[in-house]
A and B are shown apart, each in its own frame.
Chain A
Amino acid sequence: MKPLLSLKEISIRYKKNTPIFQKKKYFEALKSVTLDIFPGETLGIIGRNGAGKSTLLRVISSVIKPDSGEIINNGASVSLLSLQAGFDENLCGRDNTILTGMMHGFTRKEIEEQLEEIILYSELEEFFHEPVRTYSAGMRARLAFSISIIFSPDILLIDEVLAVGDSRFRKKAEMTMIKKLNSQQTIVLVTHSQQQVLRLCDRAILIEHGISIAEGEPEKIIHLYNELVS
C-alpha cells in the first residue's frame, strides 16, 4: 500500500538561546526519524518525555520544516489536535470553537451548523458560553476533543488529548475514535497510556533520543519500551 505520508531520516535542531557574543549552541530534538503513515491505520507514537514526540507531530503537520531529511506527502491534509489548542482565555467556548474551526480551514457557517452537536458532545452545557479561563483542565480537554469530532482531515494527529478528562469522558472519546477508525480515518496517536496504544493502534513506533528505533506490533513495541524504561 502506498503511504499517505512518509518521513525519511528527519532531523531537527534548535538553536539554544545564547547571548549575542557567545558561540551558538544547538539542541537536537530529532536526530533521525523515519516513518510511513498508511491510509486507514492508527499509528501510535511511544517514547519518554523529551524523546521528540511533540516535535515529530509538528513536523508531520508541517508546522516546522526539518533541517535535513525528506517529507513525502501524497496530497494528505493533516490536522493536529492538542490540549494547548491555542484557546483565547477571554472568549467563551462557543467563540473558541468557531475560531479553532476556522483556523483549521472550515467556514464559519460550516462550524455553526455543527455547533449543536459539539455542545452536546462536550457536555459543557452552560459553560459553553462562559470564558475558557473559567474552565478546568478536564473541561478544556473536552472542548478540544469535541471540536475535533467535526474534523476529518486525511491524517488526524492526536497529542495526549485522550489522556485527560474524567474516565467516563475518556471512554466516550475513545469510542468516537473507534468510530472514526471504522470510517477509515488515518490517525497518529501520541499518548502515555500504554493501554490506549494496545487498544487503539494497529502499529506503533518507538522514539528514543530523537531516533525512531523500532516499529511494529503495538504489543512488541510496548514491551520494548518497558524494557527501555526499566
Chain B
Amino acid sequence: MRHARNNFPENPNSFLHSAELAKHQSNKEDLDFYLGKAQKQFPKLIETWLKSAEYSMHYHDYDSAELFNSEARKLANKNAAPPFIQYAEIAMLKKSWGLALVRWEMVRKKFPKHPSGYDQAAKAAKALGNNNLAKELKLAQEYGPSVLKEPSVNEKPIRHIEKSAALSGFLSLIWLKAILNLKSEVKRSFLSYGWWVLEPLLHMGIYYLVFGFLLNRGGENFSVFLLTGLIPWMWFSKSINNCSTSILEAQNTILQINLPPLIFPLISIVQNTLKQGPILLLLLGFTSLQGFGPNIYWWSLILIFLVQLNITIFFSCLIAAVIPFIRDFIYIVGSGLTFLMFLSGIFYDYRTISEDWHGLFFSNPIAFLLKCYREVLIESSSPDLLVLSYWGLAFIIANFILAFIYQQLRYSYPRIILE
C-alpha cells in the first residue's frame, strides 16, 4: 500500500484502501491517519467523506459520522443516493427511530425506487412500535409509494348480531333462499313454470290410465277424486324428498358459517309450499269447473292446510336430521314414501276397505288429511274439525320438541359431515 501511495499520490483509493486495511487490522491510529490524509487531499471527493463517516459508525462515533456525512451530502449530486442512505443509517445506529423515519422519508422522496427507503424505514417503524406503518412501508415498496398516501377507510362501526335480530334474520334468509331456489329451478327448464302444473297432471294421467281405465276402478268423477288426493300428497312427498338431504347438501355452508342447521330443511319446505300454493288454487278452480263449486266448508281448508304444513315440517325435518348420522337411511326414504302413498288412499276410497281396518288406516295422518280434503271439495261436507285440531296440536308440540333436538345437535352436524 505504501508503494501505491507513493506512486499514485493523486489517487484517493490508495489512501482509502489503506484505511480499509487499517480497519481490518483494528489499527485505529493508522485508520485516522489515512483518513485525515484523504480528507485533506481530496475534500471535494464524496467517497472520502462517506468512508470517513462509515468508519466513525464502525467505531460508534456517531457525532463524527454525522459531521462527515453532512460533508458528503453537501457534495452529493441529484443521483447519488449513498450519502442520504448513510444519513438515515446513522440515525438507525443511534437508535433514534423517529429521526431515522424522517431521514428515510427523505430518501424515499429523492429516490423512490431505492428499497432501503422502505424496508429499513419499516424496521424503524417497528422499533417505534408502529406496526401498521411498518406494514404500509413494506407494501409501498412493492406497490409504489401511493399506498402511503391512501387514507385508511372509514370502516362502519363493528356490528354485533343481536340475538333478537337473529330470528327475524333467519326467517328472512329462509324466505329469500326459498324464492331464489325457485327462481333458479324455473330458469333451468324449458317449460319453466309450466312444470308446476304439468307434473301433477302427468301423475294423474298415469293413475287414471292404470286405475280408471285398465283396472276399471275409477267410477264417477275419478279425475277430481285423484287430483284432490294427489296434489296434497305431492306437496308432502316432495317436501320430504327435497329435505332429506338438505343438511348434507348445505355442507359447504355448514362448515363455514355457524348457522342453525334447521334452516336448511325449512328452506326446502318453504320452497315446496310456495310451489304448491298456485297448484292448490288451480285444484279449487278445477273442482269448481267439475260442478263442485265453492261452499262454506272451504274455509276449513285453511285449517287442513296448516295441519298438513305442520305434519310436513315434522317428518321432513326429522328425516333431514337423521340422514347425516345414518346416511343409509336415504335408501329407505323412497320406499317408505311409496309405501305411505299406497296406504293413504290416493287412488282408492277408504270406504272400499273393511271398517275393521279404519282405525288403523286413519292412524296415518296423511290418510286422514286426504279424507278431509275430499269431504270439503267433493262431498261438500265438514271435515272432522276436532280430530283435525288434535292432529294439528300434536304436531305443533312435536315440532317444538324437534326444534329443541336440533338446537342440541347444532354442533354435531359440521363434525358428522366431516367424518
Contact = CB atoms under 8 A, between A and B. Distances in A.
Interface stretch (A45-53, A104-112, A135-143, A221-229): A104-112
Interface residues of A, number: 48
Contacts of B184: 88, 90-91, 131
Contact of A105 (B169, B183, B252): B169
A175 B147 contact: yes
In the complex, which of the residues B147, B158, B172 has the most CB atoms of chain A within 10 Å of its own CB atom? B158
B173 A77 contact: no
Interface stretch (B80-88, B148-156, B288-296, B298-306): B148-156
B150 A179 contact: yes
Given A62-B258, A91-B180, A199-B135, A152 B253 contact: no
Interface string B152-165: 11111111110001
Contacts of A104: 257
B136 A178 contact: yes
A182 B135 CA distance: 10
A185 B155 contact: yes
A85 interface: yes
Contact of B255 (A63, A200, A202): A63
B187 A90 contact: yes
Most buried by A among B132, B161, B166: B132
Nearest to A154: B158
Contacts, number: 119
A200 B135 contact: yes
B143 interface: yes
A174 B173 contact: no
Interface string A193-219: 000001110100000000000000000
Contacts of A174: 139
A162 interface: no
B415 interface: yes
B411 interface: yes
Nearest to A16: B419
A86 B419 CA distance: 19
Interface in B371-419: 411, 414-415, 418-419
Contacts of B166: 105
A80 interface: yes
Nearest to B161: A105
A96 B171 CA distance: 17
B255 A58 contact: yes
B74 interface: no
Contacts of B411: 64-65
Given A61-B256, A84-B252, 18 more contacts: A15-B419, A95-B183, A99-B173, A102-B169, A102-B173, A102-B176, A105-B166, A107-B169, A152-B156, A171-B142, A175-B150, A180-B153, A180-B155, A182-B132, A183-B154, A185-B155, A199-B135, A199-B138
12 contacts: A63-B255, A86-B252, A86-B253, A95-B183, A99-B176, A103-B259, A175-B143, A182-B136, A183-B152, A185-B155, A199-B135, A199-B142
Interface of B: 131-132, 135-136, 138-139, 142-143, 147, 150, 152-161, 165-166, 169, 172-173, 176-177, 180-181, 183-185, 187-188, 250, 252-259, 411, 414-415, 418-419
